[in-house]
Structure 1
Amino acid sequence: MNSIDTIIFDLGGVLIDWNPEYVYLDVFQGDRDKMQAFFDTVCTHDWNENQDAGYPLAKATEERIALFPEHEELIKMFYGRWEDMLGEAIEGTVAILKKLIDNKDYKVVALTNWSHETFPIALERFEFLHWFEGIIVSGEEKTRKPFKDIYELTLSRFDIEANRAVFIDDNLRNIIAAKDMGINTILFKDPENLAADLKALNIQL
């Protein structure tokens, strides 16, 4: 294996905690079953991912209300209270990121599934997002992981050789897609495991 010279970070779930439960668990008065039923049928993961690929939040909300008018107030909360779903930085990973940036031996970029309408909120809140050489935001590119074109775009925009890069993501589906592109991968579990996995690839922290 060629030596690694580029680290590609996912953001949500790796460096930043985001979870709609922070809003809806309270709304559903702690009833996880009711909350999960709402996520499974109304504001679903697939629906939210469509907005990550650039679909307008207002239009998506209107269309969902048309399908589920009885849940209008709950649907409006999804993006209306999106900022309340944004948790804290995952500090252990931020510490690893800083070491890699300070090392200066590596190109460090990010590839995230994120709506271009909400990403500016994260940019304002988290200073470390400004440390990257560049960030590919799916909503700005009108595509998302795990589609091949967003990986190709990342490689070309930052002049990355796939076999000399490692991609870190907490979603196995996205990891498999990156592997298919010839990119080395780490499935993120927690900062401690990430540090060990990076060292196993001879990446200096």
Structure 2
Amino acid sequence: MTAEIRHIVYDIGQVLVHYDPLIPFKRIIPDEEKRSWFFAEVCTGAWNHEQDRGRAWAEAEAEAIARHPDEADNIRAFRAHWEEMIPYCYEDSVTLFRKLTASERDVTLLTNFAPDTFSICRARYPFLEESRGITVSGEVGMVKPDRDIFERHAETFGLTPEATLFIDDKAVNIEGARSIGWHGIQFHDAAQLERDLAEHGIIV
């Protein structure tokens, strides 16, 4: 029997909102082999992670262009076409989220996002305002899965660790949450999430 869950913390990307940088880049770099190389060597996940930590886009672009000057236009295209990368939300997942926020459950959001791109996402998907509050990694200079961002979120919102359940699509982030005593559910789809919530005593 798990402890009573009083706080539910949601990730956003790939849990509530779809994110795919390939959407604009299938047009920008039509050649699949070149495009794969670009994301493996130029605008890598690690490179983008630093924007989530709060690095300014101008600095990020300058760093990447210094490494690959011939790719300057494609590097700048990443930020210029960023909004295309969040084309839709997962309606069934959002429905579940809204049921939770409309109930007596305490729901907050904890996301890895650059501050300016999160402003775009927030404006595009107003349901994100329906939780009690949001910790955005780039605004606090910390990123998942590091322990400090989970501690910061818990302190900010007064969460009791053993009564907190974290929902994220990445297993490494779930492990980060568990490192400070939270429970975790790795998200795959809304139906699975609803089943997993029920196992924690949360019937929606």
Fold-level similarity (TM above 0.5): yes
Return the alpha-carbon distance in structure 1 between the equivalents of residues 183 and 36 of structure 2: 34
**Structure 1 residue 38 and structure 2 residue 30: aligned?**
no
Question: How far apart are 1:123 and its partner, in Å?
Answer: 1.1
Find the aligned partners of 2:186 and 2:136 in 1 and give their Cα distance: 20
Alignment RMSD (CA, Å): 0.9
Contact 1:175 1:185 in 2 (8 A): yes
Match of 2:203 in 1: 204
Output the amino acid matched with 1:25.
K
TM-score by structure 2 length?
0.97
Cα-to-partner distance string for 1:142-174 (whole Å, 9 max, x where unaligned): 111011110001111111011101000001111
Match runs of 1:1-205 below 5 Å: 1-29=2-30, 31-104=31-104, 106-205=105-204
Once the two structures are TM-superposed, the CA of residue 130 in structure 1 deviates from its matched residue by 0.7
Letter in 2 for 1:89: C
SS of structure 2 residue aligned to 1:149: helix
1:110-139 CA-to-partner distances (Å, cap 9, x unmatched) read: 000000121111111101011010000000
1:34 deviates by 2.4
SS at match of 2:87: strand
One-letter code of the match for 1:127?
A: P
1:63 Cα shift?
1.6
Residue deviations 1:173-204 (CA, integer Å, cap 9, x gap): 11111111110000001111111110111102
Alignment partners' CA distance in 2, 1:128 and 1:13: 15
Pairs aligned (count): 203
Q: For residue 66 of structure 1, what is the amino acid of its counterpart?
A: A
The whole-number CA distance in structure 1 between the counterparts of 2:158 and 2:32 is 45
Q: Where do 4+ consecutive residues of structure 1 move more than 2 Å?
A: 31-34
Q: CA deviation at 1:32?
A: 3.1
The question of whether the paired residues in 2 share the 8 Å contact of 1:162 and 1:181 is answered with yes
Which letter maps to 1:189? H
Q: Is the 1:100–1:204 contact (alpha carbons within 8 Å) kept by the matching residues of 2?
A: no
What is the one-letter code of the residue matched to 1:39?
Answer: F
